[in-house]
Structure 1
Amino acid sequence: MELQWPLILFTTFVAWSAGLFGAQGAAALAGEGRRAQMPALIGSAALLAVGGVAVFFHLEHFERIFNGFGNPTSGITQELVCVVVVGALMVVAFVVLRRAAGGDGAPALPKWLAALMIAAAALLVLVTGHSYMMAARPAWDSPLGPLTLLGAACAAGPLTFAVIEAARGEAAGRATALFSLVGSIANLAASVAYLAFMEMASASYTDVGYYYDPTHPTAGMVDVSALSPFAGESVAMVAVAVVAAAVPVVAALVGRKTGNWKVWGAAGALCAVAGAVALRMAFYSAGASVYLFY
């Protein structure tokens, strides 16, 4: 399947935005990273805006996007609802932080709001990933798809928040450091598991026969072997996805040990994002529909 770059960028930036937004909430629950809250909020809003702009380039007639919102069961409607909820919470957080800034200069978010931020961020990522689950594309029809996006969010978000903390002159809190490590490990595990699933799913195409050109009835129009993520050009994507998902684990470990989050946090966050992009590239390469074979 042809790579859909607007959707790749949309899902990646939404995951990054949600991960940073959720990391803010986790830090607020732990009473950490007060100086980083406002810059992180602005950063997560900017990332969400970039993802929102990217998705419009997927549409030939973007002005008709609202026609799809009439069906509440459609993925695009559910994504919009979640984006609106997260956007509303961002506004609330901004107002709270601005009002509290007149005190000691290090405003804190209330715990109830922090908990809602974490829940809304996770829901946004999972709903975004769920939109791509469909039985017609065996390589996509797995909960591992949404979980890989959640893993990317849990790796890139806390690492980015640690960088912002360091830039604001704060030491990364224990919660941020722990979430960076746990999130990075979860992201690596989910990425490897999903690649293994896509490889196993490629066997599904051999059970439905071959769709052929009537003028060449003995030649299949699709090379089944090329649908494996470990075949052809997809091999490079897989290698980048795995290596880039492993780097944040190392970065989180070294960051916790040295405290140099400006370098290691940035390296880990960027690699987590690069790994998410590479994994989505493999995702599209393996995402042929079984209807091609009937």
Structure 2
Amino acid sequence: MDIQWPLVLFTLFSSMGGCLFVFVGINEFTKKSEVSGFVPGLVAGILAIVGGLCSVFHLEHVERIMNALSRPTSGIFVEAVLIGCLVVCVAVYLICLKREAQAGVKAFAVLGIIFGIALSFMAGHSYIMEAVSTWSTELLPLGYLLTALPMGAGLYWALACKTEESGKFMAMATLICGALGLIGALAYAGAVDAFAGESLMVAVGSLVFAGVVPIVCGVIGLKAPKEAYGWVAFAGATIGACLFRVLMWTLHTTAFGFFGQNF
């Protein structure tokens, strides 16, 4: 089974955007960062849209996307609805932010948090099927969500934390999310026996980058909360999340699957 890169990128970017907005929304209530949520919110919306566009290119005939969306029970329909809901929430949040409508800001921050988490989970849940034993477990979508959280935490830290207080807060959040990412990747990899054969390096890489790197950056950031550590945590978490999403395909393919049948 070839690795379906449009789907890998879809779940990566949409989850990245969703989890970034989770922390944008959280900050509207904690006020740890004095930086406006406009830029991080805008980035979150753009990432979600990019992820949605990536999913379209998985279809052999892109023009048939409306046929896929006409089936409410299909995974692509659910994902499209969640992306649409998230993007709408982000857009209205940004408008309310510009108009200083605090009630609307908080309301759509909460909705955005819900849709961001739901999108990150359901992006993996769509793959669950009895025909593929290593995909037929709830640990797969849980791993999708938990490995996405460090990306959102690291990126928000890098974009919006300019003071020592906000930096330390997001360093702790990144540390916690890194621990969750490590647990999520380890639970799924252990359950499907991914630490054997050709999937070993991919499984280990997902643990190191999605879990260990954000944890280390968080620990260092608690002492020296610099934005640079947020960028490092984000970069590591992105690599780890990508490897986790590749892992499910490597359980059914040889190494040449990374490059396609024509390699």
Q: TM-score, normalised by structure 2?
A: 0.89
Q: Give the aligned partner of residue 258 of structure 1.
A: 224
Q: Give the aligned partner of residue 218 of structure 1.
A: none
Q: Give the aligned partner of residue 247 of structure 1.
A: 213
- Structure 1 distance, partners of 2:180, 2:13, is 19
Q: Deviations over 1:224-278 (max 9, x none)?
A: xxxx55203x222122212112111111111122111x22111111111101111
Alignment partner of 2:175 out of 148, 170, 181: 181
Instruction: State whether structure 2 residue 232 is matched by structure 1 residue 238.
Output: no
2:183 partner letter: A
- Structure 2 distance, partners of 1:59, 1:160, is 30
Given that 1:30 and 1:175 are in contact with CA atoms closer than 8 Å, whether structure 2 keeps it comes out as no
Q: Give the aligned partner of residue 257 of structure 2.
A: none
Q: Give the aligned partner of residue 135 of structure 2.
A: 140
Q: Which moved more, 1:84-93 or 1:152-161?
A: 152-161
Q: Give the aligned partner of residue 83 of structure 1.
A: 83
Q: Give the aligned partner of residue 35 of structure 1.
A: 35
What pairs with 1:260-279 in structure 2 (closer than 5 Å)?
A: 260=226, 262-279=227-244
Q: Deviations over 1:176-231 (max 9, x none)?
A: 333222211111111011101111xxxxxxxxxxxxxxxxxxxxxxxxxxxx5520
Q: Which moved more, 1:77-86 or 1:237-246?
A: 237-246
2:73 partner letter: T
- Structure 1 distance, partners of 2:109, 2:170, is 14
Given that 2:14 and 2:120 are in contact with CA atoms closer than 8 Å, whether structure 1 keeps it comes out as yes
Given that 2:21 and 2:113 are in contact with CA atoms closer than 8 Å, whether structure 1 keeps it comes out as yes
Q: Give the aligned partner of residue 8 of structure 2.
A: 8
1:198 partner letter: V
2:46 partner letter: A
Q: Deviations over 1:45-97 (max 9, x none)?
A: 22112212222221111110110122211111111111111011011111011
- Structure 2 distance, partners of 1:242, 1:162, is 21
Given that 1:23 and 1:176 are in contact with CA atoms closer than 8 Å, whether structure 2 keeps it comes out as no
CA 24–109 in structure 1, closer or farther in 2 if over 3 Å, else same: farther
- Structure 2 distance, partners of 1:36, 1:170, is 13
Given that 1:35 and 1:170 are in contact with CA atoms closer than 8 Å, whether structure 2 keeps it comes out as no
Superposed displacement of residue 174, structure 1: 5.8
Given that 1:229 and 1:285 are in contact with CA atoms closer than 8 Å, whether structure 2 keeps it comes out as no
- Structure 1 distance, partners of 2:146, 2:72, is 27
- Structure 2 distance, partners of 1:92, 1:193, is 37
- Structure 1 distance, partners of 2:83, 2:116, is 9
CA 36–185 in structure 1, closer or farther in 2 if over 3 Å, else same: farther
Q: Give the aligned partner of residue 190 of structure 2.
A: 196
Q: TM-score, normalised by structure 1?
A: 0.80
Q: Give the aligned partner of residue 73 of structure 1.
A: 73
Unpaired runs of at least 5, structure 2: 254-263
The alignment partner of 2:99 has SS state of helix
What pairs with 1:107-186 in structure 2 (closer than 5 Å)?
A: 110-166=105-161, 169-171=162-164, 172=166, 175-186=169-180
CA 149–45 in structure 1, closer or farther in 2 if over 3 Å, else same: same
- Structure 1 distance, partners of 2:53, 2:72, is 22
Q: Give the aligned partner of residue 261 of structure 2.
A: none
Structure 1 runs of 4+ with >6 Å offset: none
Given that 1:27 and 1:175 are in contact with CA atoms closer than 8 Å, whether structure 2 keeps it comes out as no
The alignment partner of 1:100 has SS state of coil
1:13 partner letter: F
- Structure 2 distance, partners of 1:69, 1:173, is 42
Superposed displacement of residue 108, structure 1: 9.4
Instruction: State whether structure 2 residue 51 is matched by structure 1 residue 51.
Output: yes
- Structure 1 distance, partners of 2:157, 2:104, is 17
Unpaired runs of at least 5, structure 1: 102-106, 200-227, 289-294
Q: Deviations over 1:84-124 (max 9, x none)?
A: 110110111110111129xxxxx897433322221111111
Tell me which structure has the larger Cα radius of gyration. 1
